[in-house]
Amino acid sequence: MISTMGLLQSWGGLGTSIASFIFMWDMIRRYCPPELIRASDKWTRRIRSFFYPFIQISISEFMSNNLKPHDAYAAVEAYLSVHLAKEAKKLRAETVHGGGKLVLSMDEHERVTDEFGGAKIQWISGKIVQRESKYLPEVERKYYKVTFHKKYRDMVTDTYLEHVIKTGKEIQMRNRKRKLYTNGHNKTTWSHIVFEHPATFDSLAMEAEKKREIVDDLLMFRESKDFYARIGKAWKRGYLLYGPPGTGKSTMIAAMANLLDYDVYDLELTSVRDNTELRRLLAETSSKSIIVIEDIDCSLDLTGQRKKKQEKPPEEKTSKTKKEVPRKDTEESGSRVTLSGLLNFIDGLWSACSGERIIVFTTNYVDKLDPALTRRGRMDKHIELSYCSFEGFEVLAKNYLLLDEHPLFEPIEMLMKETKIIPADVAESLMPSSPKEDAGKCLLKLIDALKQAKEMMIKKGKEESADKGVPEMKEDADVLQDMEDSADSLDGFTQN
């Protein structure tokens, strides 16, 4: 009993002493001169470092105030997931290439210990939440912190970290998942999903010679790092894909990504607040990537911010041409991106912040684009994706029906020479609607679709000829009669 009472009195005295020390320290810091306090803090840090002989190095997820992803962070994450994940008690699981294999990595606020060259090195995963301004949402910033004894400083900084980065990058290449990024609606950063589109150039409904030309151009770009450095240009290339809807522009982009093994950044301009945010999104993209702006003519009214629109006569305001498409108004979208900002995004100083990138614009109406967007040097290669040719049909027949030849190919070829049909409609006709539908029935469906398209062309031609007047009607009527005679002969061929 006596010993217990003595212990309690000792603890009580200790608590009183601590409270008195805290009170006195607060008084000293409150009334001492600032110079004396700074000197005291300096000596306090030195004493603390003497008794705490450990060094800490932080590796953040982003560099330069969230402007660019930190390559070392991803490499460290890959290294720890393979070599040290077994020691961690809190793990995060992800799939590789969408398959059943799981890759385990350290979860937030978990720590593991590594051994290298006789030194024990501790890794800690963490996360901080910051708000850059009151107008922007909170942003999460992840980091890894490595702690080691100061006597191993040279070994860790010169050898160990280099070993971790090199090994981590090798693991990344083995487990790499291509990603599809988007800035989404009202998002100021990129979000992503795994990119698993199966399109290849072999499956594209396009002439073989044209495909070879595009593939050769892409492969040459991928191997041209030294060439671009020698000529003093940023390692990037622009592609303009244009043509009617349904001609395979998006499929072409997927085939490009699969050929080069690049990530895809699908940029929605209407979700970008202003030019500053556009530059920041560009800086956050990685190398080996394709940046896509689809339907560039419909995204924002970019030309109107550089030159004043001409006033249309009253009769033109009331009637719309068939080429007009709905355009999202800049004020409605809340975006203040200008043509100048977009041009700087493509080939300004900021475009060189990361190498080996392809920028792709798609449009249905190339004549609506400002010439400054499409000139050589910005959009280096213009690729027209037009109506389906017979060579393109042969590719689709091979893909959908496993056919290299068929008696119905001849009438289809004759119809395609006289009829415009997009690859999407051809593919829809060749798609079997039931297990009982064989290749012949699918080809007959396509022939019917081609005949309907041809009848519509004939009807449209007659209406246009009637609008032209009597002097031009005879010549147009002869052409239309030839088309009708050709259609009648094809009817007899397919019936036989």
Helices (H) and strands (E) in the chain, counts: 19, 15
Q: What's the chain's average pLDDT?
A: 80
What average pLDDT does range 221-247 have in this prediction? 92
Q: Which region among 243-257, 279-293, 319-333, 339-353 has the lowest average model confidence (pLDDT)? A: 319-333
Mind giving me the DSSP string for 421-440?
--HHHHHHHHS-SSTT--HH
**Is 207 found in the same domain as 347?**
yes
The two three-digit tokens of residue 444, written as one number: 């007959």
Domain that holds residue 284: 187-303+335-384
Q: Do 193 and 166 fall within a single domain? A: no
Per-residue pLDDT at 9 = 63
**Secondary element (H or E) of residue 347:** helix 339-347
What was the pLDDT predicted at 5? Answer: 63
Q: Are residues 234 and 357 in the same domain?
A: yes
Nearby residues of 223 by Cβ (< 8 Å), 6 or more positions away: none
- 200 plus 266 within the same structural domain: yes
Neighbours of 105 (CB within 10 A): 19
- One domain for residues 95 and 162: yes
C-alpha closest to that of 323 among 356, 259, 368, 281: 368
CATH number at residue 285: 3.40.50.300
Considering only residues 297 and 181, tell me which one the structure prediction assigns the higher pLDDT: 181
Residue 25 lies in a domain: no
Of 384, 414, 449, the last residue of a domain is 384
Specify the range with the lowest mean pLDDT, choosing from 215-229, 385-399, 464-478: 464-478
What is the spatial distance between Cα 76 and Cα 72, in angstroms, rounded to a whole number?
Answer: 6
Q: What is the pLDDT of residues 362-417, one digit of tens each?
A: 999 888 888 888 888 789 999 999 999 999 999 999 999 999 999 999 999 999 98
pTM of the model: 0.68
Highest mean pLDDT, choosing among 73-82, 248-257, 283-292, 372-381: 248-257
Residue 265 near residue 328 (C-beta atoms within 8 A): no
The count of domains in the chain is: 3
What's residue 320's pLDDT? Answer: 46
360 lies in the same domain as 396? no
pLDDT value at position 302?
A: 60
Residue 437 in this model has a pLDDT that exceeds 70 = yes
- 236 in any annotated domain: yes
Q: How many CA atoms lie within 13 A of 25 on its CB side?
A: 8
Asked if 92 and 123 sit in the same domain, the reply is: yes
Which residue's structure tokens are 């109107």?
304
Together in a domain, 376 and 404: no
Mean pLDDT of 473-491: 49
Q: Taking 50 as the threshold, does the pLDDT of residue 346 lie above it?
A: yes
Q: Are residues 451 and 375 in the same domain?
A: no
pLDDT in tens, 268-322: 988 888 888 888 888 888 888 999 999 988 876 665 444 444 444 555 444 444 4
Tokens of residue 175, six digits: 């487990």
Rounded to the nearest 10 degrees, the angle between the axes of helix 339-347 and helix 275-283 is 20
Over 60: is that where the pLDDT of 494 sits? no
Give the chain's length: 496
